[in-house]
Every structure is written in structure tokens, then in C-alpha cells.
Amino acid sequence: MKTNVRKLTILGISTAAAMVLSYVETFIPVSVAVPGVKLGLANLVTLFLLIKLDWKSAAAVSAVRVALTALLFGSAASFAYSAAGAALSILVMGLLKITGVFSPVGASVAGAVSHNAGQILMAIVLMGTREIAYWLPALVLSGVVTGLAVGAVGALLVSKIDLKA
Amino acid sequence: MKNKRLRNDIILSVALLVLAIAAWGVIRFTHKTGEFAVVEIDGKETARYPLGDDMSVEIVTGDGHVNTLVIAGGRASVVSADCPDKLCVKQPAISRTGETIICLPHRLVIRIEGESGVDTAS
Ligand SMILES: [Zn+2]
């Protein structure tokens, strides 16, 4: 019972941190030319939970974060894109964690690129046009850069923060 | 073990970068100067305007929302819109086939179509 309270507290703080990151990235004009695309800074929290706890915790925090962020500072469209991006990136990072082929930085790069690919796939579904794939190179590029940065910070957090303390 | 994973990280990142640059190159190479700006709302074409004629038109989308499309000097751009994010206004002007300006909130796509006779691929 006590561990459940501990875990709930950790998940609550994680959700708050993820929402702050989602909010902060709305001020970063890196993606003006690429419609609806976000940096995916909240992947930092997902990555951390995936490594320190389990994929269920990471998925739960992501789901709550996406829903609350859309309610507070998003639209129906941005919700669909965020949800698709978050789902695909968790799936990929979770699978990579199981295989253990990459370090947290590599998993983060794969997660960030999947996050962007998920947003594009959702755009193709919603808008009924393939031309959005035109932005894929820019999205892969920004995914690699964001993934490296998020992965580096994430690896640092994973080594510095001990949840069992 | 740690070095192996680090090596895999680097291989993954470099492979993705090469892929992105290659895809970008293919797009630059295969997309030529276009002839028409095609307006699509909800995935359905509603109008097309020749890039050769300078003009300005108010596109009214689904719920009475408005995006103002301007064609000038063979390039199409959205100069104003009443959408919340204004991403369509911030997107650069387009002139090559396959290039798009997208207004997600209004489910509007402006797409360049048709090869023009003159090849100005750079
Ligand atoms: Zn717009």
C-alpha cells in the first residue's frame, strides 16, 4: 500500500513536469514551417519513467499529459497529433528498452523521430492528403536533434535520481 | 556492452540523418516549378488558381472561417487567417509542385500542382 502511494506521488510529479515541458515548447518557434509539429520535450519524462519504472507508468503519464495539455492550451486537432505522436513514440521506446540495443540516448532519438512520424501519419489520416509527407525530412532532422538533447538530459536524470531512496 | 550501445546510438542517428537528407534531395530534384495553387478543404479540391496571375482571394472554410490566399510573382502564400495558431500565415510562400501550406484548424491545404514548361529546378 505504501509503495502505491509512493508510486502515485512519483507519477503525479512526473505528469506535472511533463505538462510544464509541453507548455514551454509552445513558446519555442522551431516548427513554424512545419504545421502542428511540436518538439516533444515531454518525451524526457516518458523516457525517464520507461527506464526507472515501467511502460504502463510512462503510458499513463503520457495519456494524462496529452489530454490535459489539449484541454488547457490546445485544440481538437493538436490533441489528435499529440496523441498519435505520444503513442507511437512510447511504443518504439518501449520496444527498444526490451531489446536493449540502444542506450537511453539512442532510444530517445528513435522516440523523437517516431513522435514526429506519428504526428505526420495522423495529419495524413485527418487531412486526406499524402503531400504532408513532404515535411518528413525536416521532421526526421528535428527529431534527431531533439532526441539527442532530450536523451542526454534524460540519461543524466536517470543516473542522478534514485526513486528507491 | 556500454560501448556497443553507444556505437548503435551513433549508427542510428547518422542513418536517420542520411535518410532525411536523401529524402530532401529526392524532393528537391523531383519537384518542379508548379502551375496551379490548388485549394483543398477537408481533402476535397474546391478551387485552383494559376500561379501566373497575381491575385488575392478569401478562402471560406467549413465553419465560416477565412484564410486569405495571395499569389504574387508565381508564389502562393497565406497572408492572414482567423485560425488560433496562425501557422499557415507563418509558413513560407510556395511555388514548386508538391509544396503545401496547411491550416490544420481549418482543415485547409493549399498545394502546388502541374509542371510548367520552363524547368527552373535548382
Ligand atoms: Zn491557419
Q: What average pLDDT does range A55-66 have in this prediction?
A: 93
**B42–A contact, CB cutoff 8 A:** yes
Residue of A111, A104, A102, A101 lying closest to A160 (CA atoms) = A104
pLDDT given for residue B48 in this prediction = 94
The pLDDT-based confidence of A128 (bands split at 50, 70, 90) is low
- The mean predicted confidence, pLDDT, of chain A is 85
The most confident of the ranges A113-127, B25-39, B75-89 is B75-89
Q: What average pLDDT does range B75-92 have in this prediction?
A: 89
The pLDDT-based confidence of B120 (bands split at 50, 70, 90) is very low
Alpha carbon separation from A25 to A12, A81, A146, B63, B91 (Å, rounded):
20, 15, 12, 29, 18
Please tell me the total count of domains within chain A.
1
Comparison of pLDDT for A116 and A165, the residue scoring more:
A116
Q: What average pLDDT does range A69-74 have in this prediction?
A: 80
The pLDDT-based confidence of A4 (bands split at 50, 70, 90) is confident
pLDDT given for residue A161 in this prediction = 87
Which chain B residues have a beta carbon less than 8 Å from that of A78? 85, 104
The pLDDT-based confidence of A76 (bands split at 50, 70, 90) is confident
**B13–A contact, CB cutoff 8 A:** yes
Comparison of pLDDT for A31 and B7, the residue scoring more:
B7
Lookup result for grid cell 485547409: B108
- CB A104 within 8 Å of CB A77: no
Which amino acid, residue A48? F
Q: What average pLDDT does range A112-130 have in this prediction?
A: 82
In chain B, the percentage of residues whose pLDDT exceeds 70 is 92
* Yes or no, beta carbons of A137 and B23 under 8 Å apart: yes
Express each pLDDT in A143-163 by its tens digit.
999 999 999 999 999 988 887
pTM of structure: 0.77
The pLDDT-based confidence of B122 (bands split at 50, 70, 90) is very low
Which chain B residues have a beta carbon less than 8 Å from that of A127? 43, 102, 104, 107, 109
pLDDT given for residue B97 in this prediction = 84
pLDDT given for residue A123 in this prediction = 78
A146 is a domain residue: yes
Dihedral, CA atoms, A137, A138, A139, A144, nearest 10 degrees? 90
Which amino acid, residue B4? K
Count A/B contacts: CB-CB distance under 8 Å.
Answer: 97
Q: Provide residues of A within 8 Å CB-CB of chain B.
A: 32-33, 35-36, 75, 77-78, 81, 100-103, 105-106, 109-110, 113, 123, 126-129, 131-132, 134, 136-138, 140-141, 143-144, 147-148
A110 is a domain residue: yes
Instruction: Compute, in angstroms, the gap from residue A75 CA to the centroid of ligand 1.
Output: 12
Instruction: Compute, in angstroms, the gap from residue B81 CA to the centroid of ligand 1.
Output: 6
CATH code (residue A81): 1.10.1760.20
A152 is a domain residue: yes
A165 is a domain residue: no
Element (H, E) at B44: strand B44-50
Domain that holds residue A151: 5-160
Dihedral, CA atoms, A100, A105, A109, A110, nearest 10 degrees? 10
B74 pLDDT above the threshold of 90: yes
A145 is a domain residue: yes
